[in-house]
Structure 1
Amino acid sequence: MSIPYAEVIGDPIAQSKSPLIHGFWLEALGLKGDYRRAHVKPDALADYVAERREDPDWRGCNVTMPHKAAIMDLVDDPGDIRGSIGAMNTVVRQRDGALIGTNTDAAGFYAPLAELDLEGAPVVVVGAGGAARAVLFALARAGVGPVTILNRSPLKAMGLLATFGLKGEVVALDATLPPAALLVNASSLGMKGQPPLDLDLSHLPDDAIVYDLVYSPLTTGLLAAAESRGLDTVDGLDMLIGQAALAFELFFGKAPPEGRDEELRALLTA
């Protein structure tokens, strides 16, 4: 008997913890289903989408690097994700075979910050890729400002400020940090196999929050530096679990079980 399944696609993909998360929820809810990794190289993305479109058991996929922009050319976009966030991280197959692209990263990123008043707060964001787009979209909705982006390519980052209607500036990765209320690493720096992200946090105020989207390792060099200064931190599992919860309901028609997050975090960090 066939069972419904979803996947996470990327290049590379072995590091993804999404199968653990979705598998945990499927088992907890007693649902028949599966969630897998699929290593999809950029030149194979169109073929992958075409093949899965014809599979009635395939419920969709989460999309990670480097496909969050390219996937937009291959699926439907009724919510105008291209015009708003400019990156997709989730594709859902409809019963008629239509593929709908959306983005759960923005809501997943913002969930740990939802109780804070960030209106007018100065923010620093590292990176200008697909994850940064979701972060800046959410921050613009929260009314933050000014925003300083640290990035190797100033032109690309300046375009993002304009896209999301944010005031701020773009500086080099080794620039002195302004006294921001929130620092977000939305780049791959600090991830296993990537160069470290070495920032001088001494200019951040004592009540600043440091948020690193990297979750492998969970305690990155950036978070360790923030903790040594006594700053509040948010690790990458918060966003990972938050965006996954929204995608899970789209794929399998049920919300994840409540009250199991600590158990899930223990599984992910074992």
Structure 2
Amino acid sequence: MVPTGTTAAREFRAAVIGSPIAHSKSPLLHGAVYRALGIDCSYSAIDVDEAQVGAFLDDLRAGTAWRGLSVTMPLKGAVARLVDSTTAPADVLGVVNTVVVGVGPHPTLTGHNTDVAGVAHALAASGVGTPQRAAVLGGGGTAAAAVAGLAQLGAGAVSVIVRRPAAAADLQRIGGALGVEIALVPWSHAAEVVPASDVVVSTLPPRAADPLARELAAHAGFRTDGTLLDVAYDPWPSRLAAAWQQAGGRIVPGLDMLIHQAVEQVALFFPEAGADRAVVLRVMYDAVGAVRR
């Protein structure tokens, strides 16, 4: 299940898994950092779907060179159930985007969630303080991480805007565990709630928020001084980000979140690199030609 080849010659291995996976920028980010820090680690993108992930993790436990995995859609919930243990806040969220492989002949797998730190750090770096009126678009695993990231910034309440509120009811349990009041708002009210929010995090797939963007752009009186983080970074700017910026708001690219969560992953895979956080951040921004905030 775990592929072999030229990467096996490296001392350590890591990868991002999900399906589809060819678009992932994680190999570019991690590869640049390991080269810059002199860490002999290959990092690849491996297409793994939900039917394959159990066997893939079993093979990982039988390996010796693996340091960790980045986990993307649609595997974040499944991996949380399959690893040997999880850390906070992954244990509360039930969502894992990072797996650390233990050292030894029978390594254990520990699940983490660095998306939470990615959201919090990306927003804080853009100047966001304590959100007073926060909103999240979407109700999946990334939305759960967004709620937790907003909680880290001090948000006491978050409106979660979803197409089927009943399907996102678990976010209210998560909010309760984090000390955040969650209001599940039907999508039909998005154009009312979003403009009234000082911080908005869109966790929707690319182009899924386009209808909302058109509705906001068509409203001549729409103005905002709030901040929008759109986790969908391709294409960029998204229509939602463009409409938000046109109305006077500040936009935070999803690429910022991706980079900040990847910095946390590097520190988990290679704790000895943790002291070089500023270097890791600079190398990752340079690797994708992005402007650091």
TM-score normalized by the length of structure 2? 0.82
Tell me how far apart the structure 2 counterparts of residues 197 and 86 of structure 1 sit (CA, whole Å): 30
Inter-partner Cα distance in structure 1 for 2:34 and 2:123: 27
Q: Is the 8 A contact 1:180 1:204 kept in 2?
A: no
Structure 1: which amino acid aligns with 2:34? L
Looking at structure 2, the residues matched to 74 and 126 of structure 1 have their Cα atoms a distance apart, in angstroms, of 28
CA offsets 1:91-143 (integer angstroms, 9 cap, x no match)? 01010211111111100111022353325x11111011111111111222333
Are the structure 2 counterparts of residues 263 and 142 from structure 1 closer, same or farther at C-alpha, using a change threshold of 3 Å? closer
Whether the aligned pair in 1 keeps the contact of 2:223 and 2:247 (CA below 8 Å) is no
Tell whether the 8 Å contact from 2:90 to 2:112 is kept in structure 1 after alignment: no
CA distance in structure 2 between the partners assigned to 1:60 and 1:73 by the alignment: 17
Larger CA deviation: 258-267 vs 135-144? 258-267
1:232 equivalent in structure 2: 250
Q: Does the Cα contact within 8 Å between 1:46 and 1:74 map onto a contact in 2?
A: yes
* Contact 2:128-2:227 within 8 A present in 1 as well: no
Deviation per CA, 1:154-205: give whole Å up to 9, x if none: 0133431342123342223232332110111012142xxx673524446765
**CA 1:83–1:252: 2 relative to 1, 3 Å:** closer
Q: CA–CA distance in 2 between the matches of 1:208 and 1:94?
A: 42
| Amino acid in the other structure paired with 2:118 | G
Counterpart-to-counterpart distance in 1, 2:48 and 2:86: 25
Q: Partner of 1:13: helix, strand, or coil? A: coil
Sort the Cα spacing of 1:30 and 1:204 in 2 relative to 1 into closer, same or farther, 3 A.
farther
Structure 2: tracts of 5 or more residues without a match: 1-8
Does the 8 A contact of 1:183 with 1:211 survive in 2? yes
State the secondary structure of the residue aligned to 2:245: helix
| Alpha-carbon distance in structure 2 between the residues aligned to 1:133 and 1:39 | 24
SS of the counterpart of 2:210?
A: coil
Question: Which residue does 1:177 correspond to in 2?
Answer: 192
Q: Which residue of 1 aligns with 2:4?
A: none
Partner of 2:46: 38
Which of 128, 131, 135 is 1:116 aligned to?
Answer: 128
Q: Is the 8 A contact 1:181 1:204 kept in 2?
A: no
Post-superposition offset of 1:260: 3.5
* Matches for 1:183-202 after TM superposition, within 5 Å: 183-190=200-207, 196-199=210-213, 200-201=215-216
Instruction: Give the ranges of 4+ consecutive aligned residues of structure 1 lying more than 6 Å apart after TM superposition.
Output: none
Cα distance in 1 between the residues matched to 2:223 and 2:93 = 30
CA distance in 2, matches of 1:252, 1:80: 19
Unmatched 5+ residue regions in structure 1? none
Match of 1:134 in 2: 145
Give runs of aligned pairs for residues 145-164 of structure 1, distance below 5 A.
145-164=156-175
SS at match of 1:24: helix
Partners of 1:28 and 1:41 in 2: CA distance: 32
Match of 1:103 in 2: 113
Equivalents in 2 of 1:128, 1:232: separation in Å? 23
SS in 2 for 1:207: coil
Q: For 2:122 and 2:151, locate their aligned partners in 1 and report how far apart those are by CA, in whole Å.
A: 16
CA distance in 2, matches of 1:204, 1:92: 45
Aligned residues: CA RMSD:
2.3
* 166-175 or 242-251: bigger deviation: 166-175
Give the drift of 1:248: 1.3
1:264 aligned partner, one-letter code: A
**Is residue 181–residue 205 contact of structure 1 (8 Å, CA) maintained in 2?**
no
Is residue 55 from structure 1 mapped to residue 67 from structure 2 by the alignment?
A: no
Q: Is the 8 A contact 1:189 1:197 kept in 2?
A: no
Q: Is 1:221 paired with 2:233?
A: no
8 Å Cα contact 2:138/2:202 also seen in 1 = yes
Q: Is the 8 A contact 2:144 2:174 kept in 1?
A: no
Structure number having the greater helix percentage: 2
Deviation (angstroms), 1:32 = 1.4
Identity of aligned residues (%): 32
